[in-house]
Amino acid sequence: MNTPRSLLLPLRAFLLAVVLSGGLLRADSPRLADCSSSELLPQTVVAFAEASHIAQAIETLLDHPLRQRIESLPAYDEVAKSGSLEQFQLGVTAFEASMGKPWQEAIKTLTDGGVTVAADSSSQGIAILIKSSDVDMLQRLRGFLLALRQMGQGKLSAVEQGDYRGFTAYALSKELKLAILDHWLLITNKSDLGKSIIDQYLDRKNESLHSSETFSIARNERDAQASDPAFVSAYVDVATIRSSGAAKALSNEKIDNPVVEVLLGGVLANLRNTSFVTAALQADITGVQLKLSSPHKRDWEPPREYFFGETQHAAAPSLLEVEDRLFAISAHRDLSQMWLRSGDLLSDKANDGIAKADTQLSTFFSGRDFGEDILGALESDVQIVGKAQDFSEVLPRPAIKLPAFALQFQMKTPDETTSELRRVFQSFIGFLNVVGAMNGQPQLDLGMETLGDAKLVTATYVPSRDQRDSMDAPINFNFSPSIAFAGKRIIFSSTTQLARELVSEPEVSDSGNVVSERATRNTDILFNANTLKQVLDDNQSQLVANNMLEKGHDKQAAEAEIGLLLELVGMFKDATFQLDVSDDELLLDVRLHVDGE
Amino acid sequence: MSHSANSNRRRFLRSSIGGAAAIGVGSVIPDCLVRAVASEGNRDERILVVVQLSGGNDGLNTVVPYADDAYRAARPKLAIPTSDVLKCDDDVGFHPSLSGMHDLLANGQLTVVRGVGYDQPNRSHFESMDIWHTCRRKDESRPDGWIGRFLDTQTNDSGGDVAALHLGREQQPFAIASEKIRVPTMKEMSEFQLQGRDRQSLRSLLNANVATEPNPLAKNASEPNDLLDFLQSSTTSALAASQRVTEAAGSYASDTRYPDTELGQKLRIVAQLIDAGLTTRVYYVQLDGFDTHAQQPATHAILLRQWSDAISTLVRDLDTHGHADRVCVMTFSEFGRRVAENASEGTDHGTAGPMFLCGRGVKAGIFGNRTSLTDLHDGDLKHEIDFRQVYASVLKNWLDTEPLPILGGDYKTLPLFS
Amino acid sequence: MDRMKPLDPQWAWQTFAPSNERPWNRALAAHLYRRAGFGASVEMLDEAVSREPAEMVRQLMAQNFEANEFRETADQLAQTILASGDAKKLSAAWVYRLLLTPTQLLEKATLFWHGHFATSAEKVNDAHMMWDQNRLLRQHALGSFPVLVQSIAQDPAMLIYLDSAINRKAHPNENFARELMELFCLGEGNYSERDVQELARCFTGWEVKNKAFRKNRYQHDTESKSILGSSGDYDGEDGVRVVLKQPFLELFLARKWYRFFISDEPEPSDELLQPLANVFREHDLQIAPALEMLLSSNLFFSEHAIGRKIKSPVELVVGTLRGLSGTANTQVVSSGLLQVGQGLFYPPNVKGWDGGRAWIDSSTLLGRANLIGKILDDDVTRFSGQKLTDYLGDRGITTALEAIEYFEQCLFALPLDDSTKSRLSDTFSVTAAEPERQLRSLLHACSSLPQYQLG
């Protein structure tokens, strides 16, 4: 490091030339070989992702039991035979030939120092940094990439190159440049970004991404949280992106889509204020997990108290449990407030829609104001559940078998609301019958039943005489809309059976019992892939018919394709989505589990 | 502005003639030129744009009898405050959303026909709409609609521009059903253009093909193939029409800003097609949602604003392009609503309501007497003018067609056009 | 219009015998498949050329019912689709049949009857009824016309479409009675208003209840009726029988078949049609013998027929695919057909599709080109399960010019001239970079030519 640079430069250039010409000497530099990639990147980097255990990830993937299951599928053979994989395999062979090793080993060595991708705001460029202990392998990789480029062009032309401070940059394409800085391989689409990285590599000034304040806060938080080392960890400087005006969605206070607002309005509000987001991706034999977290302040919440909770953060109720559960969603949402405040939350266009819907819904609900009277009668605990329906002993049996689903709320004043909504429900069914009659739809028969302390109002489709034993009845017969009242609970269900199942569950007592883990849980979503497979299985003939129509396949080909789809779905177990909000942090946890057996 | 479309068109024709003459082709070209040139003459033909407000528009809160005490008595919650009404005279004014229509009235481009309906009114949306569309009752045979029957009376060269066009994603309105011709429904502007990655090459191929293709059978077959000639000239005129539409659309954007609503965008397309010189006589669009049984004020205000903004923009735009004197925009709804409001701040299905005619050709003003709010039939307004009288006036005085066979009865025309 | 010199009726209907001047070749075989079906691959054409034309027609006629296996698959497909209750999807199921049926003439005749006994799902609004009617039409498409008419007279979809679901003796509904004579059997001018009123009385008490046909004997007018010169206390079936006896009937249908199977224009004279009409009557109004005579005639294989029809949208799209053993997303096809004017189950009015020049206007011409473009742009579209490159490659075709000449044989009714061919191959040359896309563009260009609209 003390050698005057003026002397060093030509020497390095010489050594490099020797290496490039297939020389035996190796540029063995003591300089920043062991620094981290964040120390090489400028402070203006706004997005940074680092993958540090690629070899391990590949191993997990290759050793995964699912791999054998996929390879044993008949369809896999067909794909392999069809030549669709040919080009891929050709690429792998070429890669292995260039590296002189099997590809797994080559990648393992190539990436043993990690791979970093960064986006820089000042140069509007992207940089990829690969760090390897084996410089020879990096050079082989360079040779491979340059050869690929020439193949792509279809002619053997000289590779454009240029020198900067003793390092040579090669053009991979019109925009992409590649350079090797000892143990680092650098690819970027902006020369300025490349130069600044080389400058930093040589000069090692104090100003780097590493020394940036938000980045170090973010890194510390990530390190504090991570139980296992993440496969990929990432950091996004939201504040800078926001101020540059690059992402419009981040600066728009109001959004167009009410469903997105209800699901993610709070998350978007956070992104409009927070300084950064960190992400960690982990993978093991059971599946993958993505954790996103970002600093949070209560000041950022208005006007979305409906989402976060009025005076304090409110927790989502637990997920509803039913047999053959397909999905469950629980969240804290004050829907009445959301509906009435939609002017503050949604765009003018969306509000026009809400106003029209308000008129329609108030008509459905016999003149009761939808936002104030209907939604307003409910607490902010939203629980939704869906389940696969079992029709094996039911007639008429619908040809298309849909899942059943239900919404559960807590009533503010059960005595008042029960009788009120029971009446509303009855006239709603009457309304459906009138409309249905005009369109030749079957009619609904109202019924009442008592189950323990619970009262149900049910509506059942009446089959016509020739439909009673039908095995391919119309889609209506998936539904028996019902409303159930049990203590404080009110349940709107698409089927009577599901309503019964839910009321027979004991009532969960008030928030005093909320498990501590759930105290910060704002939104909780679970999706069960096994049940999804069951639902698809039940509808196989429909799926096959649709495949025949949409692809013009004959029956055999259609059955094979749907069979494959079902196999693939069967490889997943479930997916979860959890949003936690505390006074200083917002944490999003998404997991996808596969069936490892 | 109208010059640009014309000159584009002439340029196009000239180049076709030039190209054909240079190659020295015989019989095909004159035919398609005759067709193209003939359609140029149709630029003077009058056009009708029909706007259907589906669901039953509340006429009383659209054209408001603000000075009538009976109005406020019947609508304690829904009556538009006098201070908000956009006044037309000492009697009536418009809903505050209708500033665009109010301007049109002031500029002499709007006539409002009050109290339009029919005998023994039907309060079902579907049935009443069918009556407005076909001019016939349920027990009569209804194979077609009144506009369809109008189109049947026009000499329609097959192969040319469509006689009428419905824009939208809804089911096609019965009014334009014809026993003779097919009226297409267009969902997007792109349906008027060749699609696909190779559309440029395809366009030039088809143009070249038509210009130089000698009838392949003419040489050796004993019979000429009229159908092939027909197809070739139709292809030429289809490409020319598409070219005009594309050019019109391209040069259009900057002129007038249409509201960013579905209706606004549909009417923008209508204006472009009219400016492109299509020979289409009738355009049909719909705006749904007027069935305001509950919580009416907000919804009704939004719908009226969408309607008024879009229509007034269209009329203004047609004016700047020099078409306002040959385009009439007619708005109707299948019925009005009851005079008295209901308990859920809404109104229920009623009977008579206002119709609106816009454009330079109309005799501006409020037509018809103030409908009495106290002399009611079963709580509903009594109609003063049969809707077929308005149709008859449009047919006879605007579209120059004998209304009697189309409407199936002799309906007295009204002095609605200047 | 009447530039055509009168044709000799005797020559016209004689069985075509190939000669040196007019040899039986791929072009004539392709013509037969286009009209008696939708189209055929070059392999099928070669197979046809190896036989006599009359034998080919007999073979097509003999396929008057579907092989069990295909029928089961196609019916099951339709049944499954019905579960969704959507008639638009049902239309896709019919497209599936059109694309893959081994019995093309049966399907073409079914399509003919759908236009003849036009009924639209737009109004009937019940996919099950539309499907039942479709099966009825297919069942009798090449069978007995009297049976077909009697069945249609009791078909729920038809009765609903013609506002005849209720028919009380106090108010006989004249709609079905009128159309039975005007559109289905006799043609305008061959009956009086009085006949309509009397015939309507025969159908009193015929109604649709719970989506099924039934006779309400309390609403039937049992008094004597006088129709078209004969009288008696007829019921509905009797009324139909009286109409079927009318001598105008055979000429009326012969004219419709002529326009559907032979040529759009000029209008044929009664003299020309009479022999065909006679055969129809002589065979007790059996459909097959008349069609067999038509399809094997001199006239059918003459220049008065070849290239003398504007392809309907179904013929255009299905023909293009069948000519190259193609399959596609049937929903894209069916919704596209509706857009360009021939929605299956959605005829425009009681008269069905007018055909001929009425197919063409500035919106449908571009629409036809765009529809084929959309289908070819879809990766799902395959040719014998392959890419177009591989399909043509297996047949030794690699260059644009070779492809054009191949398309000419299996797709075009009229030969392409050299200048068109060279313009096509110049504009859409096939290079190594994207052969599949280029071949598909070339096919798209060919199918957009004005001459390709002739079938």
Interface test with B, best of A256, A358, A359 (most B CBs within 10 A): A359
Contact call for residues B270 and B283 (beta carbons, < 8 A): yes
Average pLDDT over residues C137-153: 97
With an 8 Å Cβ cutoff, are B302 and A359 in contact? no
- The CA-based angle C9-C14-C18, given to 5 degrees, is 130
Phi/psi at B185 (5° precision): -105, 125
What is the reported pLDDT for A591? Answer: 96
Give the three-class secondary structure for B301. helix
With an 8 Å Cβ cutoff, are B205 and C365 in contact? no
Q: Residue A383 gets which letter from DSSP? A: E
Contact call for residues B315 and B79 (beta carbons, < 8 A): no
What is the reported pLDDT for A25? Answer: 36
Return the partners of chain C (3 or more C-beta pairs < 8 Å): A, B
Contact call for residues A170 and A160 (beta carbons, < 8 A): yes
* Among the ranges given (A95-109, A144-158, B90-104, C206-220), the one the predictor scored with the smallest mean pLDDT: A144-158
What is the reported pLDDT for A154? Answer: 61
Is residue B389 pLDDT above 90, yes or no? Answer: yes
Whole-angstrom distance, CA of residue A473 vs CA of residue B320: 58
With an 8 Å Cβ cutoff, are C444 and B198 in contact? yes
Q: Which residues contact B339 (CB under 8 A, 6 or more apart)?
A: B60, B74, B75, B350, B373, B376, B379, B380, B381
DSSP string, C171-195: B--HHHHHHIIIIIIS-TTSS-HHH
Tell me the two tokens of residue C118: 């036009």
For residue B60, give Cα distances in angstroms to A367, B336, B380, C329. Answer: 21, 8, 11, 51
Is residue A18 pLDDT above 80, yes or no? Answer: no
What is the reported pLDDT for B156? Answer: 64
Tell me the two tokens of residue C382: 């395959």
Q: Which residues pair with A446 in a beta bridge?
A: A459
Is residue A414 pLDDT above 80, yes or no? Answer: yes
Report the amino acid identity of residue C283: H
Which of A469, B230, A65 minimizes the C-alpha distance to C360?
A: B230
Contact call for residues C22 and C306 (beta carbons, < 8 A): no
Whole-angstrom distance, CA of residue A343 vs CA of residue A303: 10
For residue A93, give Cα distances in angstroms to A22, A100, A140. Answer: 22, 10, 14
- How far is B373 from chain C, CA to nearest CA, in Å? 38
Which of C378, C312, C309 minimizes the C-alpha distance to C340?
A: C312
Tell me the two tokens of residue C407: 């398309």
What is the reported pLDDT for B341? Answer: 92
What is the reported pLDDT for A24? Answer: 36
A553 to chain C, any CB pair closer than 8 A? The answer is: yes
Phi/psi at A153 (5° precision): -80, -15
Which of A216, A238, A211, A212 minimizes the C-alpha distance to A292?
A: A238
Tell me the two tokens of residue B332: 């109707």
What is the reported pLDDT for A252? Answer: 72
ipTM of the complex in this document: 0.91
| SS3 per residue for A477-510 | HHCCCEEEEECCEEEEECCHHHHHHHHCCCCCCC
Whether omega for the bond prior to residue A42 falls within 30 degrees of 0, making it cis, is no
Q: Which residues pair with A454 in a beta bridge?
A: A451
What is the reported pLDDT for A262? Answer: 93
Whole-angstrom distance, CA of residue B104 vs CA of residue B328: 13
Report the amino acid identity of residue A480: S
Is residue B286 pLDDT above 50, yes or no? Answer: yes
Q: For chains B and C, count residue pairs whose Cβ atoms are closer than 8 Å.
A: 158
Is residue A7 pLDDT above 50, yes or no? Answer: no
Q: Which residues pair with A398 in a beta bridge?
A: A473
Find chain A residues with C-beta within 8 A of B345's C-beta.
362, 367
Among B42-46, C211-215, C234-238, name the most confident range.
Answer: C234-238
Q: Residue B157 gets which letter from DSSP? A: -
Whole-angstrom distance, CA of residue B271 vs CA of residue C265: 38
C83 to chain A, any CB pair closer than 8 A? The answer is: yes
CB count within 10 Å of CB B162 equals 24
DSSP string, A286-318: TEEEEEEEEE--GGG-TT-HHHH-SSSPPPPPP
Which of C110, C87, C34 minimizes the C-alpha distance to C309?
A: C34
C410 to chain A, any CB pair closer than 8 A? The answer is: no
What is the reported pLDDT for B108? Answer: 95
Which of C173, C176, C174 minimizes the C-alpha distance to C154?
A: C176
Phi/psi at C78 (5° precision): -65, -45
What is the reported pLDDT for B254? Answer: 52
Interface test with C, best of B140, B209, B246 (most C CBs within 10 A): B209
Give the three-class secondary structure for C57. helix
For residue A60, give Cα distances in angstroms to A39, A282, A595. Answer: 30, 11, 14
Which of A202, A174, A197, A175 minimizes the C-alpha distance to A185?
A: A197
Whole-angstrom distance, CA of residue B285 vs CA of residue B310: 11
H/E element holding A178?
strand A177-181
Phi/psi at C33 (5° precision): -65, -35
Secondary structure E strands in A342-488? 381-387, 404-410, 444-451, 454-461, 482-486
Tell me the two tokens of residue C370: 């765009």
For residue A494, give Cα distances in angstroms to A497, B39, B406, C418. Answer: 9, 58, 50, 67
Q: Which residues contact A158 (CB under 8 A, 6 or more apart)?
A: none
Which of the pair, C214 or B223, is modelled with greater confidence? C214
Which of C82, C326, C380 is facing A551, going by the closest CB pair?
Answer: C380
Which of C79, C84, C93 is facing A400, going by the closest CB pair?
Answer: C84
Average pLDDT over residues C363-367: 88
What is the reported pLDDT for A437? Answer: 83
Whole-angstrom distance, CA of residue A416 vs CA of residue C258: 75
Return the partners of chain B (3 or more C-beta pairs < 8 Å): A, C
What is the reported pLDDT for B169? Answer: 80
H/E element holding A521?
strand A521-528
Find chain C residues with C-beta within 8 A of B280's C-beta.
none
Tell me the two tokens of residue B376: 């009611």
With an 8 Å Cβ cutoff, are B181 and C358 in contact? yes
| Nearest-Cα residue of chain A relative to residue B124 | A438
Q: Which residues contact A68 (CB under 8 A, 6 or more apart)?
A: none
Whole-angstrom distance, CA of residue A515 vs CA of residue C341: 64
Whole-angstrom distance, CA of residue C91 vs CA of residue C127: 9
Give pLDDT tens digits for B311-338.
Answer: 999 999 999 888 989 999 999 999 999 9
Whole-angstrom distance, CA of residue B276 vs CA of residue A231: 60
A363 to chain B, any CB pair closer than 8 A? The answer is: yes
Give pLDDT tens digits for A23-54.
Answer: 333 344 445 557 889 999 999 999 999 998 88
Give the three-class secondary structure for A537. helix
* pLDDT tier for residue A22 given thresholds of 50, 70 and 90: very low
Q: Which residues pair with A596 in a beta bridge?
A: none
Contact call for residues C390 and C347 (beta carbons, < 8 A): no
Report the amino acid identity of residue A205: K
Interface list for C 12-51 with A (CB within 8 A): none
- Please report how many Cα atoms fall inside a 13 Å half-sphere around the Cα of residue A471, on the Cβ side: 7
CB count within 10 Å of CB B301 equals 18
B220 to chain C, any CB pair closer than 8 A? The answer is: no
Cα radius of gyration rounded to whole Å, chain B:
24
Tell me the two tokens of residue C272: 């020309």
H/E element holding A575?
strand A572-581
Which of B299, B303, B343 is facing A367, going by the closest CB pair?
Answer: B343
CB count within 10 Å of CB A156 equals 9
Find chain B residues with C-beta within 8 A of A363's C-beta.
291, 293-294, 344, 346
Which of A355, A366, A368 is facing B299, going by the closest CB pair?
Answer: A355
**Residues of B engaging A, defined by a Cβ cutoff of 8 Å:** 126, 260, 289, 291-296, 298-299, 302-303, 306, 342-346
- The CA-based angle C347-C353-C359, given to 5 degrees, is 115
With an 8 Å Cβ cutoff, are C448 and B210 in contact? no
Average pLDDT over residues C189-206: 94
Is residue A289 pLDDT above 80, yes or no? Answer: yes
* Among the ranges given (A287-291, B140-144, C95-99, C352-356), the one the predictor scored with the smallest mean pLDDT: B140-144
Contact call for residues C262 and C299 (beta carbons, < 8 A): yes
Whole-angstrom distance, CA of residue B261 vs CA of residue C277: 58
With an 8 Å Cβ cutoff, are A367 and B346 in contact? yes
With an 8 Å Cβ cutoff, are A356 and B299 in contact? yes
Q: Output the average pLDDT for chain A.
A: 86
Is residue A146 pLDDT above 60, yes or no? Answer: yes
For chain C, give the percent of residues with pLDDT over 90.
78
C1 to chain A, any CB pair closer than 8 A? The answer is: no
Q: Residue B367 gets which letter from DSSP? A: E
Whole-angstrom distance, CA of residue C151 vs CA of residue C156: 10
Whole-angstrom distance, CA of residue A584 vs CA of residue A586: 7
Contact call for residues B97 and B103 (beta carbons, < 8 A): no
Contact call for residues C452 and C412 (beta carbons, < 8 A): yes
With an 8 Å Cβ cutoff, are A369 and B295 in contact? yes
Rounded to the nearest angstrom, the gap between the alpha carbon of residue A320 and the centroid of all alpha carbons in its chain is 22
| Nearest-Cα residue of chain B relative to residue C176 | B141
With an 8 Å Cβ cutoff, are B181 and C175 in contact? no
With an 8 Å Cβ cutoff, are B191 and C370 in contact? yes
Average pLDDT over residues B340-368: 93
With an 8 Å Cβ cutoff, are C83 and A548 in contact? no
A549 to chain C, any CB pair closer than 8 A? The answer is: yes
